[in-house]
Amino acid sequence: MGGRGGRGGRRRGDDSDDRPNRRNDRANKADEDSYKRFAAKDSEDPDYDAWTEPLECGTVQSYNPSFDLIKDLAGYAPAIASSTTPLAQHATALTQTRILGGGRAYSPDDIPWPADAKKQYTEGHGVFFPSEEVKKFVSRRAEMEFKAPPAETKSAILDAALLGKYEGPKFAQPGDHLGSVKSYVKREGTWNAEAERRIEAKIKSLLPAQQAAAAAARPAPKGKDAKA
């Protein structure tokens, strides 16, 4: 028979209790006692209070912002500058460069993914780097050198974006197939110098006169392939 202290009963000095509510009560009491000891230590230790109060509540500090008008703000200027100030001109050139370099949103901390930058560059497209440090970092990661844009690209940015000069579509006479293609290509919003060169080379290879000139420039066959 089970009884107090007997078989199956609870022995004196045994704090074990398999009843869930009793176990939860003891755990809650232990947590409460631990918190009381922590609170008492927190309130009685000046050094501890002096160390934790700035971390928890912050400190009063003076704020003296400083920035360079052109270097720090040009990337955030409107898409189309409305004046001829140095800031507007710098912002316009930066916007055009960013568009030619893939059109990524401007951020001084933006780092192009090295594999994507390498693929974009090897395919003949520009890559925009917000700073020289970012360019060096991506170059090391991609294990390749990103060269500066050609002079024609720089001139296009300077002439078109800042001076308003550009070589637009021109009238082509009937029969001038290459001139007609050039005219239509320059009307396209995605025009760039590299794409124009590729299209021009392709058109030239398809024109009869160009094909005849290319055939004449090839060396004459020798041996069995030569005609009597």
Q: What is the pLDDT of residues 119-154, one digit of tens each?
A: 988 887 888 898 889 999 999 999 999 988 777 777
pTM: 0.46
Question: Are 177 and 154 contacting, i.e. CB atoms less than 8 angstroms apart?
Answer: no
Task: Say if residue 164's pLDDT is above 60.
Answer: yes
Q: Which residue has the higher pLDDT, 50 or 119?
A: 119
Q: Which residue has the tokens 């050139």?
A: 93
Kindly tell me if the per-residue pLDDT of 199 is higher than 60: yes
For the chain, what percent of residues have pLDDT higher than 70?
A: 71
Cα distance between residue 135 and residue 147, in whole Å: 10
pLDDT tens-digit map of 115-128: 999 998 888 788 88
The answer to whether residue 214 scores a pLDDT higher than 60 is no
Own/partner pairs, 186-195, CB within 8 angstroms, 24+ separation? 192/100, 193/150, 193/152, 193/153, 193/156, 194/124, 194/125
pLDDT at 44: 61
What are the CA-CA distances from residue 34 to residues 30, 177, 187 (Å)? Answer: 6, 89, 77
Give Cβ neighbours of residue 145 (< 8 Å, ≥ 6 apart). Answer: 139
- The pLDDT of 40-60, averaged and rounded, is 74
Dihedrals φ, ψ of 84, to 5°? -110, 25
Q: Greater confidence, 20 or 90?
A: 90
Instruction: Count other C-beta atoms under 10 Å from residue 112's C-beta.
Output: 24
Six-digit token string for 75: 């990337």
